[in-house]
Amino acid sequence: MAGKALTGSGDIRIGTRGSRLALVQAEIVRRLLVSAHGLDDRQIEIVPITTRGDRELGRPLHEIGGKGLFCGEIETQLTNGNIDMAVHSLKDMPAVQPDGLVVACIPCRGDPRDALISERHRNIRAIPSGTRVGTSSTRRRAQLLHLNSSLEICGFRGNVETRLRKLAEGQAEATMLAVEGLCRSGLADARMHPVPVSDMLPSPAQAAICVETRMDDFRATAMLAPLNDKDSHAACSAERAFLKELDGDCTTPIGALAVISGNKVALEGELLDPEGTLRVRDLIEGSVDQPQDLGRYLADRVQTEFCRRAGG
């Protein structure tokens, strides 16, 4: 382990959002560090940080700056040296990072699927026309409308608990959440119905945690190296390269999922228009050693076909 010795409480400071799910994910990283290096829990402090994305819940993300609003304040604290590491949901990370920061590891990924949350409806393809479904995700909105253009989609923002509360209050008959987020939060119950990826491809890097550090902090980088899961890293690299090449942000409906088998990766990606009337979905396979090249190649193929069908 490079750098100064660990001597007492709070030697390592992990920054994270303050939501229930974010704190659980930071605790996962703390446990992995403790196990990998024989540390005491007290040597690792979890520092909750409120982000603009958490404060401004009244408007859709694309109106106030996009996914990076969940990372900006945390990355500022990291750059300033007030924390040593930052734990994020990788799907919330912009495709381009700030100068001087780097994703040092991606631990083993969880279940990447979306889930339909409803007491009345169990099958995404069998929801009756006119049903009110709550989601503020442009991807999920487009995918739902592609499956059934007669659904009524209403805005649902907030953390997992907030969206489940809105559902219980009757603001909608169903909502969409990530399977792994529900499981990590301890909120999975009989209302959760996982959606096959054949119906809805997830957001690129959904269910993956990443740990960000300063590029010149060799001590932190060395500590995090054993936590990296090679297959999860390769899969997410392919998916995020697909996203980046399409210049995707929270206003662009994009889904992607890479599956690793031995030394091969199968990457499936899709691009939709906001109303779900046009969807292009494609699959590519290649070497696990070149995941970003696969992502870029598939994005170019999908975008070319999308433009052709759109007449542009």
Kindly report the backbone phi and psi dihedral angles of residue 168, in degrees, each rounded to the nearest multiple of 5, phi listed first.
Answer: -65, -30
Give the contacts of 196 (CB within 8 A, at least 6 positions apart): 113
Q: Are 266 and 242 in contact (CB under 8 A)?
A: no
SS3 for 70?
Answer: helix
CA 112 to CA 267: how far, in whole Å? 14
SS3 for 161?
Answer: helix
Asked if 92 is an active-site residue, the reply is yes
Q: Are 268 and 200 in contact (CB under 8 A)?
A: no
CA 153 to CA 133: how far, in whole Å? 5
Q: Which of 84, 92, 114, 217 is catalytic?
A: 92
* Bridge partners (DSSP) listed for residue 178: 114
10 Å CB burial of residue 271 (0-12, 13-18, 19+) is buried
Active site residues: 92
